[in-house]
Amino acid sequence: MQHNKLPWPKSPRLPAGEAGYSRSLNKYMKFIYHFLSRFTLILITLFVLTNNVTVSVFSSENFEVNSLVTYEVEKSGNTKVTNDINIINTKPEVYAKQYVYKLNNIEPDNIKVTEGNKSLDFKINKKARGADIVVYFDESLVGEGSKRTFRISFTNSDFAVRTGEVWEITIPKIESANLFDNYNITLMVPKSLGNEAYISPRPKDSKVEGEFNNYYFDKDQVTKSGISAGFGKFQVFSFSLNYHLENDSAEKKSMEIAIPPDTSLQRIHYESIDPTPENVFSDEDGNWIASYNLSSNERVDVAVKGTVQIFSSPRGFLIPSPVTLLSNTKPTEFWQSNEEAIRTLAERLKTPRRIYDYVVNTLNYDSAGVKSNAKRLGAIDALRNPQSALCMEFTDLFIAIARAAGIPAREINGFAYTENPNIQPLSLVSDVLHSWPEYWDKERNTWVSVDPTWGSTSGVDFFDKLDLRHFAFVIHGKDSVIPYPPGSHKLGNNPQKDVYVSFGQLPTNSYSKIEIKSVQARGFNLFGKKYNIEIINTGYTSEYEIDEQIIVDHVVKDRSFIQILPPFGKYEDSVSITYGLFASRAPKNILIQAGNHQLSIPIDKNGIILNQLIAISCILIFLVIMLHPKRPSIYLLFRRLKKSNS
């Protein structure tokens, strides 16, 4: 057999931190090396598990590597990780002597290494954060086609964490996937953790086996992003928000604040708003605006408390009008969708998915720029300064490109809960706030939230499914700045923290409560009356699609449709009734009906007749006096009165 002569390798110097060894052959061993074995001992560092799973292989082209990783989540949240690894030699002159399994930021427990029914020797090198598991093979498998199959398993409690009402599972992504011929993940989740709230990316396949829901992923899916999943129907946060209002003018003034609203992904349960606002109403974008009347030089501190229920999938919710959707495609100060650079990108990208990917891959989060007075760049300057992006820039660029592509898009400004600000950072703008975009999905008739900032910083796909940690405070659609979110209404030189959010529980007494009030309008009219009507929500949650009817003697005189009535909200209406002479046209009853609530306004015909008789009598007496031929003149009456007083 003819052999191609191999160059004699120098004793390799291994990079710092990599495990393995190489045996240096002296000059007496060179002949044996060339003539007999011609094998080169190599180092393999096949698998490194970090926040992003990475693979580093020394001379990896010499092996075919297949891996099947199973994450079995227990009822307690503890996770058993099993990695079945298969290595096949593809060159006759190489073999694997040891294997290093690196765990960064993970502390493994109950480590086991087996090959078939046999346990393999291994050593644990503990680090400040994590450990290296060095596996030693009993014998070298030499020759092309030689196979080695072994298993490394351990347990860890960090992959599945219960946050409030939801179990959240995070599996890191794998990088350098080209070093694997096959790489598959099986995620096993017990049914007891609850229903699937979200899972991203969508698995290739799933099935139920016994007490587990099994989800299957391939190499392509975990190369681009890791796996993010949540189990449970919804998440609940408690919140306490403070606003500071001051009227420094010389006149009475009306002032407004934006309080967290209902959206398709969240429902608000208010505990209190102190002091009670004059009214709470919904604007064109769906914000809830609370109004207050302040006297001259008056200061009011408003305290808002409640809980928010965040859902995993959009609920059936209010559909915006065509006018609103059209306004959400227009350029604004920070969403310069009419700029040539933005329009060029829109023509190329076209879809929300491609726009999201472009923003994630183009901008880099500047953690050093996170400060209370951070300047908002806007879409164009974000393109010019891709290394200086905060969440506002990720959001502005997405919205501007989407609008240029004719896709309605808007900004959500609110709170995003995270335990690790280094992985999923928050922007500090007047308080702890975060922003993310939404686009209108005309197929599903709903706004869809995405988070390119977290997609960039965490490596998790936040396009197909948002997690249950995004709490919307305000919506910016028609305007890119107004209304201001909670945390922005501060006074004085030393502003305090005004936004507090923590995990909570749903209140047991949360409900909407409609009250109907009617007051006669001021003014004198014997032959008719105007009634001012107020429909007030004195409960803790919003009321939707209220059909208001004004029924006069069983006949509907007027009808209105109240799309939404927020907590502490007020809807005003009026009805005018004609009495006629001696109550000839007066109805017996006026019924105000709002949904399942109603108010009856009885009409006192006898009282109307009596009042009309008295009024008519007074008029007749006056006319008789005025028309009497011997009546004194008005001038003489005044002179007599003046003379008598003197």
Confidence of residue 492 (pLDDT cuts 50, 70, 90): low
Which residue, of 466, 498, 530, is where some domain finishes?
498
Quote the pTM value: 0.71
pLDDT above 90 coverage of the chain, percent: 44
400 in any annotated domain: yes
134 in any annotated domain: yes
Average of pLDDT values for 247-253?
92
Range name among 55-69, 99-113, 122-136, 227-241 with the lowest pLDDT average: 55-69
- CATH number of the domain encompassing residue 369: 3.10.620.30
Range name among 29-43, 84-98, 278-292, 465-479 with the lowest pLDDT average: 29-43
Given a cut of 80, is residue 23 above it in pLDDT? no
Q: Give the Cα separation of 431 and 240 in Å (integer).
A: 13
Q: Give the Cα separation of 446 and 452 in Å (integer).
A: 19
pLDDT at position 131: 85
- Name the nearest CA neighbour of 417 among 364, 467, 486: 467
Residue given tokens 């502390």 in the structure block? 107
Give the highest mean pLDDT range of 253-267, 429-443, 483-497.
253-267
Given a cut of 90, is residue 88 above it in pLDDT? no
Per-residue pLDDT tens digits for 322-332? 999 999 999 99
**Contact assessment for residue 391 and residue 453, using Cβ atoms and an 8 Å cutoff:** yes
Q: Give the Cα separation of 329 and 447 in Å (integer).
A: 14
Total tally of structural domains belonging to the chain = 4
Same domain, 431 and 544: no
Given a cut of 90, is residue 43 above it in pLDDT? no
Per-residue pLDDT tens digits for 183-202? 999 999 999 888 888 888 88
Q: What is the DSSP letter of 369?
A: G
Same domain, 484 and 627: no
Confidence of residue 80 (pLDDT cuts 50, 70, 90): very high
Same domain, 598 and 624: no
Rounded mean pLDDT of the chain?
Answer: 82
Confidence of residue 26 (pLDDT cuts 50, 70, 90): very low
Given a cut of 80, is residue 287 above it in pLDDT? yes
Given a cut of 90, is residue 363 above it in pLDDT? yes
Given a cut of 80, is residue 432 above it in pLDDT? no
371 in any annotated domain: yes
- Which residues have CB under 8 Å from 322's CB, separation 6+? none
Q: Give the Cα separation of 537 and 91 in Å (integer).
A: 77
Same domain, 598 and 453: no
pLDDT at position 461: 85
Per-residue pLDDT tens digits for 562-574? 999 999 999 999 9
Confidence of residue 253 (pLDDT cuts 50, 70, 90): very high
Same domain, 520 and 394: no
Same domain, 468 and 563: no
Q: Give the Cα separation of 236 and 503 in Å (integer).
A: 6
Confidence of residue 371 (pLDDT cuts 50, 70, 90): low
pLDDT at position 511: 77
Average of pLDDT values for 46-67?
53
Average of pLDDT values for 494-503?
83
**Domain enclosing residue 94, as ranges:** 30-158+181-188
Average of pLDDT values for 45-54?
38
Q: Give the Cα separation of 449 and 466 in Å (integer).
A: 7
Same domain, 402 and 453: yes
Q: Count H helices and E strands in the chain, helices first.
A: 10, 37
- CATH number of the domain encompassing residue 598: 2.60.40.10
In total, the chain counts a number of residues equal to 646
Same domain, 471 and 390: yes
Given a cut of 80, is residue 41 above it in pLDDT? no
Same domain, 419 and 490: yes
Given a cut of 70, is residue 517 above it in pLDDT? yes
pLDDT at position 352: 97
Which is more confidently placed, 494 or 461?
A: 461
Per-residue pLDDT tens digits for 534-564? 999 998 899 998 999 998 888 888 888 999 9
**Contact assessment for residue 270 and residue 540, using Cβ atoms and an 8 Å cutoff:** yes
| Residue ranges of E strands in 253-287 | 253-259, 266-274, 279-282
DSSP letter for each residue of 22-35 = -PPP-TTTHHHIII
**Contact assessment for residue 437 and residue 400, using Cβ atoms and an 8 Å cutoff:** no
349 in any annotated domain: yes
Per-residue pLDDT tens digits for 8-18? 333 333 233 33
260 in any annotated domain: no
pLDDT at position 466: 81
Copy the structure tokens of residue 549: 């009817």
Confidence of residue 300 (pLDDT cuts 50, 70, 90): very high
Average of pLDDT values for 292-313?
93
Cis amide bond preceding 172, omega within 30:
no
Confidence of residue 583 (pLDDT cuts 50, 70, 90): confident
